[in-house]
Structure 1
Amino acid sequence: MRIAVLADIHGNVLALEAVLADLERRGGADLTINLGDCVSGPLWPRETFERLEALDLPTVRGNHDRRVAVDPADDTMWASDRYAQERLTSAQREALFALPFMLEIIPGVVAFHARPDHDEKYLLDAIVDGQLVRAPLAAIQRRLKPLDPACRIVLCGHSHRPELIRIPGGPVLFNPGSVGAPAYDDDTPPAHVSEQGSPHARYGIVTLGGEGSDRFETIAVDYDHEAAARQAEQAGRPEWAHALRTGFMPKPAWQGSA
């Protein structure tokens, strides 16, 4: 069985279309799973929602899918969520909120957005000197405790960082990276950035061949990221434009002077 894994599209319909075209060139997949955070961002939230709706992919709810559904928006709503919220219908927002927190794709293969018990906490990552890095193995193992011990493959997103980790005596953990947002900053203490390091759209393919012979691929696809950057600039988000062009964040204000 061949499973395509998409995560963190964030309203970037251009990146999504490039990923879908690349997947088709590679012979497609038996199943394509979407790990959430579908529309939040200063790009094309409604167009992305409508494209995903037509695809009808098995999809889990990300933290931004939940946040976009808040109605009415208030002062605590992040700018990217507000931008998407204002451009979606109430029915579209309700559909995002109704997405499941977790899916078992087939026995032993589960998908969720961030962690098995929380949609906004990191599973595979730690924050060191303002950057996301791989978390210590013991910390990852603690975070996996809510999972069924029979689980052998975990598909997750949220951090926008591609990762592949085999837990000794436990499951393989796979994060394909972000389709549509190659970098972000988060000023929630402790403030940090996540950077994929290039503007490519990322996704993954998992080929199930039985325990011990599964294959995991992380794929980076070029697309018209300049058009996406210009869209972010028109929406008044120059930091998003920089991230879309480079895969890095401009130096956030919270980092202070060098």
Structure 2
Amino acid sequence: MRTAIISDIHGNIDALQAVLVDIKNRGIKDIYNLGDHFYGPLFPLETYKLLVKEKHIRNIRGNCDRILLDIHSENPTVQYVQTMLEEEHKEWIANLPFSLQTEEFYFCHGTPTSDESYLLEEMSPNGSRLKKTEDILKLVNGISQNIIFCAHTHIPRVVYLPNNKIVINPGSVGLPAYEDELPIYHKMESGTPHANYTIVTKKENDWLIEHIHIPYNREAAILQSKKCGRIDWVKALQTGRI
């Protein structure tokens, strides 16, 4: 059993296409998408068309999907995307589930109770760091599945817990680095400009976990970011850093 997990596309259609081609070439049919599909200065409608075309992808909602439905938002990037959204797109976003579950897997964007909190990392004035084991255990308490997928930080990571659960973040398909003001100012940097996703494979009673880094043509995304005045996105797409 092989499963591909993608997340945080952020309107980067070229990155998404490259990832889906790689997944197809590997013969993987089960794909789960952990949210944040369109937010950003790139290509939200093109991304939408590709996602709805790929019927085998199961999608959940991220915090940057939810905020696109906030008609009172003063966020310029939210407003940029909202000007393009029609009722079809809004309805698709509104119908996305918060989480998904299978017998083996649990999927969420942030944590099992919040789409805007980090499951594995905590912020400090010195930057991000891995949370204490006991703090992660509290956040996944009550989840019966042994494999838990989260996203939101854009940083590929695997954490093994003492209760035999594994928490996996596939990283970001479309935005390899960003900065945020909340809960305190911090940067999240993957260090690679490539598109990231994860494959998990069942090997008898064990799991093979592969973080995949896919090169793709970033010229269109970089040019579009420049047109929108998002120099932070330009550097992130070029270097994987802010």
Fold agreement, TM-score > 0.5: yes
Matching of residue 103 in structure 1 with residue 100 in structure 2: yes
Task: Give the equivalent residue in structure 1 for 2:130.
Answer: 134
- For these two proteins, the number of residue pairs brought into alignment is 241
| DSSP 3-state at the match of 1:161 | coil
Of residues 180, 184, 188, the one that matches 1:186 is 180
For residues 21-76 of structure 1, the C-alpha deviation after alignment (integer angstroms, 9 at most, x for no partner) is: 12223x22130010000110000001101110111311110001111122x3432x
State the match for 2:220 in structure 1: 227
Question: 2:121–2:128: 8 Å Cα contact kept in structure 1?
Answer: yes
| Correspondences of 1:113-152 after superposition (within 5 Å) | 113-129=109-125, 131-145=127-141, 147-148=142-143, 150-152=144-146
Query: Is contact 1:69–1:94 with CA below 8 Å preserved after alignment?
Result: no
Could you list the runs of 5+ residues in structure 1 that have no partner in the other structure?
Answer: 250-258
Shift of 1:90: 2.2
| Aligned equivalent of 1:254 | none
What is the one-letter code of the residue matched to 2:5? V
In the alignment, structure 2 segments of 5+ residues that lack a partner are: none
Superposed displacement of residue 136, structure 1: 1.7
Question: Counterparts of 1:21 and 1:131 in 2: how far apart (Å)?
Answer: 35
1:51-66 map, 5 Å:
51-56=50-55, 57-66=57-66
Q: Is the 8 A contact 2:194 2:215 kept in 1?
A: yes
Would you say 1:163 and 2:163 are equivalent positions? no
C-alpha deviation, 1:9, in angstroms: 0.4
The alignment yields a C-alpha RMSD, in angstroms, of 1.4
Does the 8 A contact of 2:110 with 2:117 survive in 1?
Answer: yes
Aligned equivalents of 2:219, 2:84: Cα separation in 1: 22
Question: Quick one: distance in 1 between partners of 2:80 and 2:164?
Answer: 40
Match of residue 17 from structure 1:
17
The alpha carbon displacement at 1:214 in A equals 1.1
SS of residue paired to 1:8? coil
Q: Is the 8 A contact 1:130 1:191 kept in 2?
A: no
